[in-house]
A and B are shown apart, each in its own frame.
Chain A
Amino acid sequence: MKKSEIKDLQKYAVKVRKHIIDEVYSAASGHPGGSLSCTEILTVLYFAEMRVNTKQPLWEDRDRFVLSKGHCTPALYAVLAEKGFFPKEDLLTFRKADSYLEGHPSMRYVPGVDMSTGSLGQGISAAVGMAMAGKLDKKDYRVYAVLGDGELQEGEVWEAFMAAAHYKLDNLTAFLDHNGLQIDGRITDVMSPEPVADKFKAFGWNVLKTDGHDIEKILESIGQAKDCKGKPTIIIAETVKGKGVSYMENQAGWHGSAPNKEQRDQAMAELDKVLAELEVE
């Protein structure tokens, strides 16, 4: 990929972060921390990788995406709106009673959302089902999912991992948004799922590691995942919860709280600065 294309993706990521802050600020609730940590992953998937059609969101040959950590839907909505599935202005209706942008994503209401999620542990199972359907129908679409690292504490995740390896779903690629934090603190303090790479390997998956904020490295990992035959791939993406907003970074407290006006303005100023730097270079 050309340098200019990488830079475009980096710019998209900043725009997505700005949407996330505005969505959560206007709703006065929502989950900024984990949305900011998976921003580059979603940006790369929707702007550089996935085969989707905004005019035909239910196109049967499209690649599928499941946000298994459904609470991070501000990031998903931002990417879908930037992509053109629905108007960007609607993002400011997030979580409001007269809006279709539910607090957790609903496939029935939101164009581009492939699976309703929100209850942790279930999204990855749905992705397994989509990948099985793809194999059964001999379709070449791919299925992507993003899991949280706290989410690994849900037993269903491991049932799904077992099934994906058993059915050799090499059309399935999952990302682990490994930001190390959950609501009550560090994942290793609350209920450690580590060592995650060893566990994924033991469950029969192809395991890759990447920097979850580095566009080029994410792209490279996706390429490797597509080359792997006979096994599903998990890309362990090392990330920072709250990435891109100084006071939110690595703070578990920003898992599920909204910024006030002053905090919102500061976040926007920080992100605008990054965007301006990217424009200049």
Chain B
Amino acid sequence: MADKIATREAYGNALAEFGSDNRIVVFDADLSKSTKTDNFRKKYPERFFNMGIAEGNMMVTAAGMASCGKVVFASTFAMFAAGRAFEQIRNSICYPKLNVKIGATHAGLSVGEDGASHQAIEDIAIMRALPNMTVISPADAVETKYAVKAAIEHEGPVYLRLGRLNVPVIYNESSYKFEIGKGIVLAEGNDAAIIATGLMVSAALEAKELLQQEGINARVIDIHTIKPIDADIIVKAARETGAIVTAEEHNIIGGLGSAVAEVLSENYPVPLVRVGVQDKFGKSGKPDILLQMYGLTAADIAKSTKAVLKKKTGR
């Protein structure tokens, strides 16, 4: 694999790159060096506002600005966006369908040493339950860049789930195409399908290699948009492979695994195994060690794929 870049870094760079549009305003809650919105501030200081450590007010102030024609990116850690400011996002952004884009960085266990209080493992579940909300969880720097671009063009609220950890760049910018709500088949295969999001997409690609060595041919699908979910790509995978594994750096309750389970059970039920945080809080530690401890590695995905294959053949 080539370079490693954190999606938060790609987010900050994309804001700076696409920031010439005068409608774009960026808010942060005293974390601009961490969320990387500082990259935008350096270029467009007049359109950057630090709102202090007051996330609830930041979200609704962003809504007020959006009501005046601005496209406002409001950034903080996922924990304090989806968590602390949930009700502000619900009532003042989603209900009036205002053009606020929530740049939620430091999602998941890969926050690392800061520990459980800062590791959002439930934000996808919370955000996807909101009417009018679009939920995007990019896999790498390239996808993040085009997700930001799509968020600017999209009319209405968007939740962008971003990470702190440097992750492999898996896409080639010259050929990459991002469309909200459209998953991407990264590798073909008909024995089982691994449906992943965020940093678990690169782990899924590694898992495919591991499985290949054992003669198992797995399809790998990147679901960057968790809502609206790409039901077509999921149902097609279910029909053609008959076994699904989901992989996410999130609680198995309410996240990608649940969204895929909803699509499968209503359309084409096949055996499913969900790789993710098993309804536990995180802890402090190095990101890579935490991902191992919580069963979020390529080896874990490969193991779950073999498990789901047994369920498939056992039918």
A: which residues have CB within 8 A of B?
Answer: 60, 64, 66, 106-108, 114-116, 118-119, 121-122, 125-134, 136-137, 155-156, 159-160, 162-163, 166-167
Contacts and interface: CB of A to CB of B under 8 A. Distances in A.
Given A129-B64, A132-B65, A156 B92 contact: no
B92 A125 contact: yes
Question: Is chain A's interface secondary structure helix, strand, loop, or mixed overall?
Answer: helix
A133 B68 CA distance: 7
Interface of B: 25, 46-47, 49, 51-52, 54, 56-57, 59-70, 72, 87-88, 91-92, 95-97
Per CB-CB distance, the 10 closest pairs between chain A and chain B, nearest first, are A129-B64, A125-B60, A159-B57, A126-B64, A133-B68, A159-B54, A129-B61, A129-B65, A116-B96, A119-B91
B39 to A, nearest CB: 20
Given A60-B68, A129-B61, A163-B61, A122 B91 contact: yes
Contacts of B65: 129-130, 132-133, 136
Contact of A128 (B46, B64, B69): B64
Q: Choose among B51, B68, B91 the residue with the greatest number of A CB atoms under 10 Å from its CB.
A: B68
25 contacts: A64-B68, A108-B95, A116-B91, A116-B95, A118-B91, A119-B88, A121-B56, A122-B92, A125-B56, A125-B64, A125-B88, A126-B64, A127-B64, A129-B64, A133-B25, A133-B68, A133-B70, A136-B25, A136-B46, A136-B65, A136-B70, A155-B56, A159-B54, A160-B60, A163-B61
A71 to B, nearest CB: 13
B67 A130 contact: yes
B60 A130 contact: no
B294 to A, nearest CB: 34
Contacts of A160: 57, 60-61
Contacts of B92: 115-116, 119, 122, 125-126
Contacts of A64: 68
Given A114-B67, A125-B92, A136 B57 contact: no
A132 B96 contact: no
Contact of A126 (B47, B54, B63, B69): B63
Given A60-B68, A107-B96, A133-B68, A162 B62 contact: no
A160 B95 CA distance: 20
A118 B96 CA distance: 12
Given A115-B96, A137-B68, A125 B61 contact: yes
Contact of B88 (A133, A134, A156, A162): A156
Given A107-B67, A156-B88, A128 B61 contact: yes
Nearest to A156: B56
A133 B27 CA distance: 12
B60 A122 contact: yes
Nearest to B25: A136
Contacts of A130: 64-65, 67-68
A45 to B, nearest CB: 18
B63 A129 contact: yes
A150 B56 CA distance: 19
